[in-house]
Amino acid sequence: MKTVIIKESESITIPNVTTFDLAQMAVKDCTGCWTCWWKTPGKCIYKDLDGFYHEYITSDKAIYFCKVTSGFVSGNLKTLFDRMIPLYLPYVTHSTGESMHAPRYDKYPDIEFYYDGEFESADSRQIFVDYINRVFYQFHSKTITIKAIEEFIAEVGEGA
Amino acid sequence: MNTIILNGSPKGNSINSNSRIFAEEFIRNMKNPCEIRCIANADTKELARYAAGFDAIIIILPLYIHAMPGIVMKFIENMEPAATEDKYIGFIIQAGFMETAQERFVEAYFADLAKQLNYNYLGTVSKGEAAGIYMYPKMFKKVFRLLNDLGSAYEETNAFDKNIVKELGKPYELSKSILVILSIVNKIGLSNVGWHRELKKNNTFDKRLDKPFL
């Protein structure tokens, strides 16, 4: 089973797994140009994520280790989400009773999403979890697990 | 109330920025129009400091992956909690999807963010099916009028008018009758006419379903 890791937390290192360390890379912001939909279908005008796109779309599982920022994902991770739109088609389907972008690829990785940081309240945490669930539902991932990073460390061990 | 409008579109002030159009329509009929600044290409730290000097901040933004574009989150990261109780923040979202229920996730976050920042929450105004505004402005005269009225009412009352917000937010969900119409429109290919015209213009129609990263 192929896995890809996207991380912001320095404390997590998993050897022998392709890892994109967002703490070390500033993802170029999406410009909303739609080049990836109508000029070079499936390809962003920027090339900085080409390696990521290949690893993500050919993986069975993507594991995110994200830092909670102002009760949400960081601007850098949000930009990564924005830049994932080339992996989907511009066409909109309504088969689920709501609008969704159609998939470009036949399958998308399952998601394990670990968050690192505190929330101001249980409601704030729920807002965050609901949002992450929705993102990967829209991204056509079939299985989505969202947990605090402490749960991962307890199961696997820090620096595992 | 001394209010700054922040245009959160990555397209900034460009001609194809729907958020720019929303901002301009919002202030169009104001007696003393608010200042508008773009987040795109700004020093977000400096802009956050500047915006904190106003009584109220209204961010007008496109919906990207159910929330704000990354550049707007980078601006939010630089906002400091208000030291006094008299600061206000509100949001106006324009989105591509028709139903504004798509915005419920970020609306909940924005309400929570206002609390975190010790700002009074003006609310979030959401308008769906707005992607084509810059391309077909004549089709959106009613939306512009509602935005003009929303801005005028805001200038008078320091609040978003609930009736206008409700009107702009329709439909909240896709009703059975809308879904039937959409399924017919999808079946006969009408919904993709615009996309296919652009793809053909760019000689990429045959590549529209490409999977370049396998």
pLDDT tens profile B57-76: 999 999 999 999 999 999 99
All residues of chain B having their beta carbon less than 8 Å from the beta carbon of residue A52 are: none
The closest of B123, B113, B133, B117 to B154, measured between CA atoms, is B123
All residues of chain B having their beta carbon less than 8 Å from the beta carbon of residue A43 are: 212
Quote the minimal CA–CA distance from A15 to chain B in Å.
24
Contact A49, A20 (CB under 8 A): no
Beta bridge partners of A20: A6
Indicate the number of domains in chain A: 1
- The secondary structure of B153-184 as a DSSP string is HHHHHSS--HHHHHHHT--SS--HHHHHHHHH
CB–CB of B192 and A99 under 8 A?
no
Is residue B51's pLDDT more than 60?
A: yes
CATH number of the domain residue A74 falls in = 3.40.50.360
Is residue B34's pLDDT more than 80?
A: yes
**Domain limits at A152?**
3-156
Range of lowest pLDDT (A101-110, B114-123, B182-191, B199-208):
B182-191
User: What interhelical angle do B141-157 and B18-27 show, nearest 10?
Assistant: 50
Q: Alpha-carbon distance A5 to B49, whole Å?
A: 35
Beta bridge partners of B93: B61, B126
Place of tokens 């999808």: B186
For an interface test with A, give the residue of B44, B61, B73 to mutate (most A CBs within 10 A).
B73
Instruction: Specify the DSSP class assigned to residue B52.
Output: T
Say if the ipTM goes beyond 0.90.
yes
Is residue B18's pLDDT more than 80?
A: yes
Residues of chain A with pLDDT under 50: none
Helix/strand/coil for A94 = coil
Helix/strand/coil for A150 = helix
Q: Look at phi and psi of residue B91 and say left if phi exceeds 0, alpha if psi is from -120 to 50, else beta.
A: beta
Q: Alpha-carbon distance B48 to A63, whole Å?
A: 32
Q: Alpha-carbon distance A135 to A31, whole Å?
A: 19
With b meaning 16 or more CB within 10 Å and e meaning fewer, what string describes A42-81? bbbebeebeebbebbbebebbbbbbbbbbbbbbbbbbbbb
Give CA separation, B115 vs A77, A120, A136, B123, B163, in Å.
23, 10, 27, 12, 24
All residues of chain A having their beta carbon less than 8 Å from the beta carbon of residue B192 are: 91
Contact pairs from chain A to chain B, CB under 8 Å:
161
Helix/strand/coil for A138 = helix
Structure confidence at residue A155 (pLDDT): 86
Which residue among B64, B99, B202 sits closest to A99, beta carbon to beta carbon?
A: B99
Structure confidence at residue A160 (pLDDT): 52
Contact A37, A93 (CB under 8 A): no
Instruction: Map A9-76 to HEC letters.
Output: CCCCCCCCCEEEECCCCCCCCCCCCCHHHHCCCCCCCCCCCHHHHHHHHCCCEEEEEEECECCECCHH
CB–CB of B70 and A85 under 8 A?
no
Q: How confident is the model at residue B194 (pLDDT cuts 50, 70, 90)?
A: confident
CB–CB of A30 and B64 under 8 A?
yes
CB–CB of B64 and A72 under 8 A?
no
Q: Alpha-carbon distance B68 to B11, whole Å?
A: 13
Structure confidence at residue A42 (pLDDT): 98
Domains of chain B: 3-168 (3.40.50.360), 176-207 (no CATH)
Is residue B17's pLDDT more than 60?
A: yes
All residues of chain B having their beta carbon less than 8 Å from the beta carbon of residue A128 are: 109
CA B109, B164, B73 angle in degrees (round to 5)? 25
For an interface test with A, give the residue of B21, B97, B213 to mutate (most A CBs within 10 A).
B213
Is residue B208's pLDDT more than 70?
A: yes
Average confidence score pLDDT of chain B: 96
pLDDT tens profile B140-185: 999 999 999 999 999 999 999 999 999 999 999 999 999 999 989 8
Structure confidence at residue B158 (pLDDT): 97
Q: Look at phi and psi of residue B127 and say left if phi exceeds 0, alpha if psi is from -120 to 50, else beta.
A: beta
Q: Which two tokens stand for residue B107?
A: 């609306």
Which residue among A41, A79, A93 sits closest to B70, beta carbon to beta carbon?
A: A79
Structure confidence at residue B121 (pLDDT): 98
